[in-house]
Amino acid sequence: MRLKYEFYIDAQPEDVWDTLVTPEGTRKTFFGCVIRSTFKEGDSFEYVGPGQDGDETIHVYGKILTYEPNKVLSYLEHPSSTYHANHEELESRVTFSLETVGTCTKLTLVNDQWTDNHPAYENAEQHWWMILSNIKTVTETGRALNFG
């Protein structure tokens, strides 16, 4: 199973990168969540924000695989125990890649290496479109989309 998306954003890679990793950017684009991490390869990360367990709900967690500012962010992720009792067994890899194309930035997202029968696959398939559309809009305009 593999999900792949490509978006062209009218901004420089540095601006798209800020939207992907800074608290200001992720709060607007990942449904109010921020990434907690040192961003060192091999270190852990968490997406934390409003949810079933309050404002400090851990939605996904995992390990940073690659962190090359303005180029590549890749990590292995697990859904938190809030969503699945067997969360440690459920895993996928997420890779964001940035590439300059003319005066734009091409953002490619690949979400692959899913464990068999991963219950979050369909949810990810639906929500990545929203998240990536929001990354594009926030980077270009500073405003998040209102999905209701």
Cα separation values, 33 from 28, 47, 143, Å: 8, 6, 16
Local structure of 129: helix, strand or coil? helix
**Structural domain harbouring 24:** 3-141
What is the pLDDT, as a whole number, of residue 109?
A: 98
Average pLDDT in the 2-24 region? 97
Report which of 86, 84, 93 is spatially closest to residue 62, judged by C-alpha positions.
93
Q: What is the pLDDT of residue 97?
A: 98
Q: Is residue 112, in this structure, part of any structural domain at all? A: yes
18's tokens: 């800020």
Residue 148: inside a domain, yes or no? no
For residue range 20-73, list pLDDT tens digits in order: 999 999 999 988 899 999 999 999 999 999 888 778 889 999 999 999 999 999
List, for residues 93-135, the tens digit of each pLDDT value. 999 999 999 999 999 999 999 999 899 999 899 999 999 999 9
Reading the block at residue 61, the tokens are 């967690």
Task: Let me know if residue 82 belongs to a domain.
Answer: yes
Q: Is residue 147 part of a domain?
A: no
131, part of any domain? yes
Q: Are 109 and 14 in contact (CB under 8 A)?
A: no
Q: What's the pLDDT band for 87 if we cut at 50, 70, 90?
A: confident
Q: What is the CATH number of the domain that holds 60?
A: 3.30.530.20
**Number of folded domains that form the chain:** 1
Question: Is residue 146 domain-resident?
Answer: no
